[in-house]
Structure 1
Amino acid sequence: MHFLMMMTGLSLAWMIRLRWVEASGIWAERWQRSLIAFLLPPLLLVMTAIAILWMGPAGQMVLRWEGWLSYGLAIAFLISSSFLGLKLAWEAICTLQTIRQNPVIDVHGNPARLLNLATPYSARVGFWHPELVVSQGLIDTLDADHLEAVLVHEQAHATYHDTFWFFWLGWIRRATLWLPQTETLWQELLILRELRADRIAAQQVDPLVLAESLLMIVSAPVMQFAQSEICAAFSWAISRDRLMERIDLLLAEPEPNRTVNWWSFSWLLLACLPLATIPFHVG
């Protein structure tokens, strides 16, 4: 029964991912659909593994070796996922240590780490309180208005603690790369993160100035300074279609101010269903 339970959880996770279709629409609706499709399958697998681990290898099995096989697979999945999380955390700490070797300067009243690079670059890097990072090339390339637009965009990332939350989403991504559409959903969440920051920034600065800043920075040579899990970069390397999507939304009429429907995330409670089988387990 444990092996059947594991295969059922895996099948459901696979099916949920295959049914997800990238779509356009209001930001809040896209965010809800994409985040649920990204989170529900991994959570279902984790809860299934925890339930099997709790019940142990003993019980009424169809085959003699079934209990130990499912038990071993559950342990292997949880250990490998934990290892990937620790590896990601170590990489993030090393990145932060590298950034903090750079001097702090004042940029329009904002403390920032200065990178001695000619390429225009700006980002928020860190966890709950990410550091602002700018390059000398950014300061030399943009005038005061365009630089202010970039800084407001980066402040939006800090306000929503994007780097902190995407660290955990990045952990899930690394642990479930073998599930269908993991990378596609990850890229969708990244662009939605940038669209939110663009939308917030456009309420404080001229959207046209922000769009011009985006074009100037993205047209510069691509530079990946830090991993996307803890780095929200204004010059994030995106495809031409994604770039045009950001610019079109900046220049279009503002979207209706529709908040995220948090009740829609109650679907994630379905991931806890495997735990409900524990009281019925017969050792």
Structure 2
Amino acid sequence: MHLLMILAALAVSGILRCSWTNTPGSWDVRWQRTLFFFLFPPLLMVMTAIAVLCMGPQGQMVGINAGWMSYILTLLSLSVFSGLCLKLAFQGWQSLQSARNCPVVHVDGKRVRLLSTPALFAGQIGFWQPELVVSQGLLETLSPAHVKSVLAHEQGHHHYRDTFWFFWLGWVRSCTAWLPNTEPLWQELLVLRELRADSYAASQVDPLLLAESLLLVVSNATALTTSEICCAALGASVGDTSGGKLRLEQRIEALLAPPQPTPKAQLQFWNSFLLAFLPLVSLIFHT
């Protein structure tokens, strides 16, 4: 019976992921829809695994005997997921230590780490309290006004704690790389993250300056390639992927459009995730 629960969770997760399509719409609609399809299937599978572990390999469920096969399979899966989390945390810690080895300078009244490279780069690196890293090439290439717009964008990432939350989303991505549409959903989350930071910056600086800065960074031939682990950089969503040009156009169009406030997630949206906890109800049927 436990094995049937696992297979059912896998089937539901696969069907949900396959049903996702990247549809246009407002930021909040796209964010909630993408986050649901990205997070709900893994959460459903984890809750199923926890339910199986709690019931154990002994006993019966609705008259069907439990067995060791599903129990060991669940235990191994959760062990792999935990190992991936530790691996990503170590990589993030290494990135943070590398950033902290850079000298500290003050740019536009802000404390930043100076990266000695001609590439154009600006990004937050770390976890809950990330380090703001700016390259020498960016400071030398961009005007003070453009640099200020870039710093405002990075402040947006800090405001929303993007490095922290996207570390966990990145862990989910690693654990569910085998599920359908994992990578398209991840890329959509990245561009929505950047749109949110752009919107935050546009409320403080001229959006046109930020759009120009974005174009300069993206078009730079020696742009710095960084790990996505615990890093939120200005051009993170417009790399050398097939959809990079389209995502760049989205960000430029959003900056040139009239500013709109970024809505907060409604309680009703988070309530939809409660359905993923249904496997725990099976505990009352286990004897």
User: Alpha-carbon deviations, 1:49-83, whole Å to 9, x = none?
Assistant: 1110111112338988x721111110011000000
Structure 1 equivalent of residue 56 of structure 2: 56
Distance 1:275 1:121 in 2: 46
Structure 2 equivalent of residue 18 of structure 1: 18
Structure 2 equivalent of residue 272 of structure 1: 277
The one-letter code matched in structure 1 to 2:128 is: W
Q: What SS class does the counterpart of residue 114 from structure 1 fall into?
A: strand
Distance 1:258 1:120 in 2: 31
The one-letter code matched in structure 2 to 1:17 is: R
**2:183 is the alignment partner of 1:183:** yes
**2:130 is the alignment partner of 1:133:** no
Distance 1:231 1:18 in 2: 29
Distance 2:190 2:57 in 1: 40
Structure 2 equivalent of residue 224 of structure 1: 225
Structure 1 equivalent of residue 84 of structure 2: 84
Deviation at 1:260, TM superposition (A): 2.6
Deviation at 1:257, TM superposition (A): 5.5
Decide whether aligned partners of structure 1 residues 256 and 118 sit closer, same or farther in structure 2, where only a CA change above 3 A counts: closer
**2:46 is the alignment partner of 1:46:** yes
Structure 1 equivalent of residue 256 of structure 2: 251
The one-letter code matched in structure 1 to 2:213 is: S
Deviation at 1:30, TM superposition (A): 0.7
Distance 1:102 1:160 in 2: 24
The one-letter code matched in structure 1 to 2:149 is: A
The one-letter code matched in structure 2 to 1:222 is: A
Distance 2:160 2:250 in 1: 21
The one-letter code matched in structure 1 to 2:282 is: T
The one-letter code matched in structure 2 to 1:277 is: S
The one-letter code matched in structure 2 to 1:207 is: P
Decide whether aligned partners of structure 1 residues 90 and 108 sit closer, same or farther in structure 2, where only a CA change above 3 A counts: same
2:146–2:210 contact (8 Å) kept in structure 1: yes
Deviation at 1:178, TM superposition (A): 0.6
User: Alpha-carbon deviations, 1:195-228, whole Å to 9, x = none?
Assistant: 0000111111111111000000110123223x21
Decide whether aligned partners of structure 1 residues 275 and 233 sit closer, same or farther in structure 2, where only a CA change above 3 A counts: same
The one-letter code matched in structure 2 to 1:14 is: G
- Unaligned runs of 5+ residues in structure 2 are none
**2:115 is the alignment partner of 1:110:** no
Q: What SS class does the counterpart of residue 183 from structure 1 fall into?
A: helix
| Mapping 1:61-72, distance limit 5 Å | 67-72=67-72
Decide whether aligned partners of structure 1 residues 90 and 136 sit closer, same or farther in structure 2, where only a CA change above 3 A counts: same
Distance 2:262 2:59 in 1: 53
User: Alpha-carbon deviations, 1:123-148, whole Å to 9, x = none?
Assistant: 00111111100000000000011010
Deviation at 1:255, TM superposition (A): 3.5
The one-letter code matched in structure 2 to 1:168 is: W
Distance 1:235 1:253 in 2: 22
Structure 1 equivalent of residue 286 of structure 2: 281
TM value normalised by structure 1 = 0.95
Distance 1:218 1:99 in 2: 21
Aligned residues: 280
Decide whether aligned partners of structure 1 residues 178 and 234 sit closer, same or farther in structure 2, where only a CA change above 3 A counts: same
- Unaligned runs of 5+ residues in structure 1 are none
User: Alpha-carbon deviations, 1:163-189, whole Å to 9, x = none?
Assistant: 000011111111111111111111110
1:29–1:260 contact (8 Å) kept in structure 2: no
TM value normalised by structure 2 = 0.94
Distance 2:187 2:263 in 1: 23
